[in-house]
Structure 1
């Protein structure tokens, strides 16, 4: 799905949101489902133990509710905390933990 601010892509082992570019070969901070963290590290990522990682131009999420967690982080990033709180009420879902930021 393309949008004005970048591209959001769903991948089999997490959600990725790109907001720009970074030099090739740069080791990226990322997370994914616990069962895939070793694979992610083997591909060169610096795996951080958190539900959502915001590495500047790359956002990753891990766990069964990663889609909700990353989506709410993007709502907060684009629309602010008040809108995010309203979205949590509508969804009947509360985010857990904090977003790890580079």
Structure 2
């Protein structure tokens, strides 16, 4: 088994990304570079309080980082968990491709 598969799924990252609003928050932050709950809420059909809760989930998953500037909390995307999840999903896809390739070879050998 590859090391990426042995680590298990990036559950927190995938769970955080499963929500369409959190996905949109992440997209908006990626485009803007950084933002506050207030600035993000202006572009979303949810309240600032809801955006704050979504940012908390993204923060716990490591997908955003926060820094306090005066009275504001500014958030910015941290791409490392996304890259890690991508690598792990790629490893999973490669393992399945290899298994399917072996199955295909067995089926073709049985036919011939």
Q: TM-score, normalised by structure 2?
A: 0.32
Task: Indicate the structure (1 or 2) with the bigger Cα radius of gyration.
Answer: 2
Higher strand share: 1
**Between Structure 1 and Structure 2, which shows a larger proportion of helix residues?**
2
Question: Could you tell me the TM-score, scaled by structure 1's length?
Answer: 0.35
